[in-house]
Structure 1
Amino acid sequence: MKVKKEKEENKGSKHSVPNLERALKILELLTKYPEGLNITDISNHLDIPMNSTFRITSTLLDFGYLYRNEGSKAFTITGKLLSLGYSVLNEQTLIEKSIDVMRLLRDDIKETVLLGIMVNHEGIVLELIPGLHSIKFWVDIGTVFPSNVAAPSKAMIAFMPPNQQKEILDKMDFKKYTKQTITNISDYKKILKEVRTIGFSTDRGEEVTGVHCIGAPIFNRNGSPIAAIWVTGPEERLPEKSFNAIGVKVKEHAKLISERFGFYSEL
């Protein structure tokens, strides 16, 4: 029965490698559970036999792609996987070309400034410059942010080609986090149109109540959005009435980084 099931799982391609497919599914699953999952949880989620789950997670652990908490026995993804993305997309150059501009923006706004990219339909934090206030916002490098709420995602998606934009929108689940969350594609498209017009995006407490973000895209020499920078802070320090003024500043700093990649525009 196991052989039959395996054949059915891979009948879509005669070149499929079952355990490689399972390993990739395990990595994709763990990105959704930052607190980690144990072998039993992984096996149940993906309907993979326990012995296969053990062998695959052990291999990923040996190669440094997973970390295992010795107390809970839960597996989490390490930064090594993200480093592969850095190598392919040259994000290290992106960080090097952005870091000083991010500091300038932080010194001006006083709030935490972040840099992120899109990978498939989700966003990932690449770098962070902490704010200057005694109470500041902080997230771990590699944190995944949901596209329907995050200011950087909106900033990048708004300037993508229609086919790429559609591919990402089709994968969004529009999960509701707060009463401000955009929960349908129609309203989201209206927001993207506005972002494309004004050149910057916002998060009005759509993921975390009372936390506001303002972001703008970074373009490569071909005019494609490759990243975004954004500022984040409490509603009291980043009220909606300040969005336009701060948005212009974020956009100007993003433009400075874009110019380092050979992109020049009046946006």
Structure 2
Amino acid sequence: MGLLLTAILLGIVEGVTEFLPVSSTGHLILASELFGYSADQWATFNIVIQLGAILAVVVLYWRTFWTVLVGLGARDPGSWRFARNIVVAFIPAAVLGLLLHRYIEILLGAPEVVAVALIVGGIAILLIERLVSPARITGVADIPLNRTVAIGFIQCLAMIPGVSRSGASILGALALGVERKTAAEFSFFLAIPTMVGATTLELWKNHDQLATSAVGWDIIGVGFAISFIVALVVIRWFVGIVSRHGFAPFAWYRIVAGALALVWLLAR
């Protein structure tokens, strides 16, 4: 498969899966097995194009971010709580990500781990949807600090590929009394510092390789643009689905996809 076609396909996979509770990293790892390209060669590409999906959040929610920025300047308590919650929830992933980086890289080369995590995560979504009490928290700024800290640590489960960063943070928020739409949007906003941090670390580690790799900045640019465009559509669709039907459709998708992937990986 040519570089350009691979970049387009991976951009589509990233744009579709980054904000759904189905694990974008897990899907990119399985894609490397399915399409037969070198996962190591495309590792930096897979990290950087996540910024394309993140940019889609900034574009779609620019009014929210602008209101918060203006509110911070005016010392509005709600804006400060909003910013505080994003920063506080990000810190656990930043610290543990740096400490466990080598172990995380080892797991990224294990597609069987992805398949199992997809199945287990799907079951967890179904259980939480059924067992959680009616949500009482209906705004990102209204999430209490102790629950924000808990969501930040729960998000760290996504360091296991296949768990899903958005899935972990959304389910953590649901379990702690946050309503569905707010849980999804909090996950979107939390993705910004998390993914910017991960991309910065990856570029710092591999900047020399980018200069000589066949997967250069031109190919990365294609993947970035594709993931941005696709994520614009998916985010709007996702919020509508969640508001009407909850997260169960994504749970069943995870279980079926994980089971098929596991059977295929073990049988080949």
**Which protein has greater RCO, CA pairs closer than 8 Å, 6+ apart?**
2
TM-score by length of 1: 0.24
Q: If each structure's strand is expressed as a fraction of its own residues, which one has the higher value?
A: 1
Q: If each structure's helix is expressed as a fraction of its own residues, which one has the higher value?
A: 2
